[in-house]
C-alpha cells in the first residue's frame, strides 16, 4: 500500500481517498504480477482483457524497442508511418471483406466515439437529419466517454448517475437476460416504430462485459443484423473486449459470420502493451462520410502500432485456439460444479472467460486479500468473481487460479 497514492490518486471507479488501498506492482513477467510486499500473484484479469500473451514478452519488448529507436510518436495529421500502414493491412486482412477503411484512435472508448460519429455523419450527408439516435440492448457497456456512456445501460449500468445529461437513445431487451427470440421481437418492435430516427445499432457480440459478464446466443447477431438491414439502420459491433481470440473465435461475430458495417477494436489489439483503438468500416460508408472531424493527438501512435503488429503476428502464428479450448475445458471442469452451491447464483464459461455470479454482493477488500494470500489477482465487482487469464497460462497455474476462486467463495 502506498499512502500517497491512496490519498491523492483517483483509481478507476473509486474515491479519493481510496476506501480500498491499491496494491503496488513492482514488476511483471509471464502471467505474474510481483507486488511490493513480496507476493507473486497470477493475473487472472489479463489487465482487463488486454495482456493476452502475458507480461514482459520478449517478442513484444523487441518490437517496441525497435520502434523506439526510430521514433516514439509523430502526429498523424499530414504524416504517416510504416507501422500504421502495416497494422492497417493486417486488420483489413483478418476482418470481414467489406471492412476496408480504418480510423485509428488512442483507446477503445474513443473507437466507439468514432463509430458513433461515423454513423451520424453517414446519414446526415445523405440528408437524413432525423437519424440521430442509437439502439442497443440492456446490460451493455461501451466505455466511459460521453458518447460511449450514452449507449451503456442507463438504469443498471455504472453510468446511471449521468443519465439525465446524456443523449437519450433506445434500449431493448438483452438476449442474455430474456432469450434471443423474445429480445429479437422487442428489437423489431422498436425498429418498426423508430427506425426513421435511428442511425445505428451497437452491440457487444456474444459477451456483455462490464454490464454483468453475460453471454447470449450468437444467433441473435445475425437476426439483429437482418432487422437492421430491413429498417435501414447501420450495424456496429464493439469487439474491444472480445476481439483477438478471447471467446474461442478470433472475433466473437465469427460464431455466425455476420457482416458488420462498423467494427470497434481495442484492449488486446496491442497485447496489452499500449493504449490503441481502431474503428473499421466499408468503402460505401467512408465515401459518404467523407472528412471525419476527429483527430486524437496520439492516434496511430508508432509504438502502439508496432507492438500491435507484433502481437497479432504472435497470436496468429501460435496455437491460440488450442490454448483457448484448454482453458475453457478447465473452467467447465473446475468452475461449473459450483452451480450446486447455495451461495452461487450462476456460473458462465465461454472460451477463456470464467464467471461466478454469487447470490450476495462480494466483500471486495476481504476477497481480494484472500486471493492475494493464495497467489492470485482478480478484481471482483458486485456479485461477480470472474477471470479472463492470459492465453499462455499453464495447466498448473490454471489450477491454482480456479482452486483459489473456489476457496474464497466457500
What cell does 244 get? 483477438
Q: CA-to-CA distance for 157 and 378, rounded, in angstroms?
A: 21
DSSP string across 369-410:
HHHHHTTEE---BTTEEEE---TT--HHHHHHHHHHHHHHH-
Q: CA-to-CA distance for 30 and 322, rounded, in angstroms?
A: 19
CB 141 within 8 A of CB 306: no
Active-site residue, from 106, 144, 153, 238: 238
Active-site residue, from 131, 173, 225, 267: 267
CB neighbourhood size of 196 (10 A): 12
CB 409 within 8 A of CB 366: no
The widest CA-to-CA distance across the chain, in whole angstroms, is 62
- The verdict on whether 13 is a catalytic residue reads yes
Q: CA-to-CA distance for 238 and 252, rounded, in angstroms?
A: 10
Residue with cell 445501460: 153
CB 306 within 8 A of CB 293: no
- The verdict on whether 141 is a catalytic residue reads yes
Active-site residue, from 55, 122, 141, 273: 141
- The verdict on whether 238 is a catalytic residue reads yes
CB 243 within 8 A of CB 253: no
Active-site residue, from 13, 24, 189, 329: 13
- What are the beta bridge partners of residue 101? 281
- The verdict on whether 55 is a catalytic residue reads no
Give whole-number Cα distances, 371 to 122, 359, 374, 399, in Å. Answer: 48, 19, 5, 14
List active site positions.
13, 141, 238, 267
Amino acid at each position: 500500500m502506498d499512502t500517497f497514492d491512496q490519498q491523492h490518486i483517483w483509481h478507476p471507479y473509486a474515491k479519493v481517498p481510496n476506501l480500498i488501498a491499491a496494491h503496488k506492482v513492482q514488476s511483471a513477467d509471464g502471467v505474474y504480477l510481483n507486488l511490493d510486499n513480496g507476493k507473486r500473484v497470477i493475473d487472472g484479469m489479463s489487465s482487463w482483457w488486454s495482456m493476452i500473451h502475458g507480461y514482459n514478452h520478449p517478442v513484444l519488448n523487441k518490437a517496441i524497442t525497435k520502434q523506439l529507436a526510430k521514433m516514439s510518436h509523430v502526429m498523424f495529421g499530414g504524416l504517416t508511418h510504416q507501422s500504421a500502414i502495416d497494422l492497417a493491412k493486417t486488420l483489413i486482412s483478418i476482418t470481414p471483406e467489406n471492412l476496408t477503411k480504418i480510423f485509428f484512435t488512442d483507446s477503445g472508448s474513443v473507437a466507439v466515439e468514432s463509430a458513433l460519429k461515423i454513423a451520424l455523419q453517414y446519414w446526415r450527408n445523405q440528408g437524413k437529419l432525423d437519424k440521430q439516435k442509437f439502439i442497443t440492448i440492456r446490460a451493455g457497456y461501451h466505455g466511459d466517454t460521453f458518447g460511449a456512456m450514452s449507449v451503456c445501460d442507463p438504469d443498471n449500468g455504472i453510468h446511471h448517475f449521468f443519465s439525465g445529461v446524456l443523449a437519450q437513445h433506445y434500449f431493448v431487451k438483452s438476449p442474455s437476460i430474456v432469450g434471443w427470440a423474445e429480445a429479437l421481437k422487442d428489437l423489431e418492435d422498436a425498429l418498426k416504430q423508430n427506425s426513421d430516427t435511428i442511425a445505428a445499432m451497437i452491440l457487444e457480440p456474444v459477451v456483455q462485459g462490464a454490464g454483468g459478464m453475460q453471454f447470449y446466443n450468437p444467433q441473435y447477431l445475425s437476426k439483429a443484423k437482418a432487422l437492421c438491414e430491413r429498417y435501414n439502420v447501420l450495424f456496429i459491433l464493439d469487439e474491444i473486449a472480445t476481439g483477438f481470440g478471447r471467446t474461442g473465435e478470433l472475433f466473437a461475430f465469427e460464431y455466425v459470420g455476420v457482416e458488420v458495417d462498423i467494427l470497434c477494436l481495442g484492449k488486446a489489439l496491442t497485447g496489452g502493451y499500449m493504449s490503441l483503438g481502431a474503428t473499421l468500416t466499408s468503402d460505401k460508408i467512408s465515401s459518404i462520410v467523407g472528412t471525419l472531424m476527429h483527430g486524437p493527438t496520439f492516434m496511430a501512435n508508432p509504438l502502439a502500432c508496432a507492438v500491435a503488429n507484433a502481437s497479432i503476428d504472435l497470436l496468429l502464428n501460435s496455437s491460440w485456439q488450442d490454448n483457448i479450448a484448454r482453458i475453457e475445458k478447465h473452467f467447465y471442469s473446475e468452475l461449473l460444479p459450483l452451480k450446486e452451491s447455495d451461495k452461487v447464483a450462476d456460473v458462465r464459461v465461454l472460451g477463456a472467460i470464467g464467471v461466478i455470479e454469487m447470490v450476495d454482493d462480494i466483500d471486495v477488500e476481504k476477497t481480494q486479500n484472500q486471493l492475494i494470500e493464495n497467489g492470485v489477482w482478480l478484481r471482483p465487482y458486485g456479485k461477480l468473481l470472474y477471470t479472463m487469464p492470459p492465453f499462455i497460462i499453464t495447466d498448473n497455474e490454471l489450477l491454482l487460479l480456479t482452486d483459489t476462486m473456489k476457496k474464497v467463495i466457500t
